[in-house]
Amino acid sequence: MSSPLHDSLDGANGGIQSGRYYGRAIPYLPIDGYPGKLIAIEGTDGVGRSTQIELLREWLEVRGYGVIETGWTRSPLMQPTIELAKSSNTLNKLTFVLLYATDFADRLEKEIIPALKAGFVVLSDRYIFTALARAGVRGVDRQWLRSLYGFAIAPHLVFYLKVDVETLIGRVLEARGMDFWESGMDLKHGDDIYDSFRAYQNKLLREYSSMADEFHFRNIDARRSVDTIQMELRRQVAAFLESADEPRPE
């Protein structure tokens, strides 16, 4: 029987070197020395992640980098299943977790690792931290979650678009309104979707904050304009990539 210490080392934790598996590696997919870089942009719904990634991709490509994007529930294998499961609004919390983990595993094997091997910059619209936050809010054991996602690769950079719940509410209402899952209606906070959204998003923001130091999030104030946020992302990404491209001393 494994010890709690062994379990924690095999699970997702912030002490792992960037570009390495957090825990138990996928045995047939070694990744040591792969030249690509993995950059994740995290944050709750409505903070503008997708917009920032699109702009960042265009900028990187102009600078000569090969770039691919990946994102939550974009696995061709799992996306239809997840959409079908969510449409009934009756998804069990553990089924919820395992479906998303399968989606991530498929994208890791088919998209992320091949791109890193080929030297691409991988821009991830959300990463495992979304899964940890959402499942943690729903009462799933946090250590079990970390163990489950031990096969993930530690990103080279994680940007967290940080926003307060009041700003978030205004943006979501203006953009598309509130839906069942983004409002945490499955948690039975009440029948009012607005109140449920506020309670759920407050809990999510606390979950993200609890991971920020451990997983080395680079906090970006998402209350600012799109252009201001993009300039800050470009400044930090450029500094990182330029330092990574410098030749190592013999």
Asked if residue 3 belongs to a domain, the reply is no
CB 117 within 8 A of CB 36: yes
| Residue range of the domain that includes 45 | 35-237
17 lies in a domain?
Answer: no
Residue 185, amino acid: M
For the chain, the domain total comes to 1
Is 29 inside a domain boundary?
no
Per mean pLDDT, which range of 56-65, 69-78, 173-182 is the poorest? 173-182
- Is a pLDDT exceeding 90 seen at residue 246? no
pLDDT of residue 247: 56
CATH value at residue 93: 3.40.50.300
Q: Indicate the pTM of the whole model.
A: 0.88
Per-residue pLDDT at 164 exceeds 70 = yes
Amino acid 191: pLDDT: 77
The helix/strand/coil state of 142 is: helix
Express each pLDDT in 139-159 by its tens digit.
999 999 999 999 999 999 999
The pLDDT value given to residue 198: 85
| Residue scoring higher pLDDT (111 or 191) | 111
pLDDT score recorded for residue 125: 96
On whether the CB atoms of residues 88 and 180 are closer than 8 A, the answer is no
AA letter at 239: A
In a domain, 228, yes or no: yes
Q: Map residue 68 onto helix, strand or coil.
A: strand
- Domain-embedded: residue 212: yes
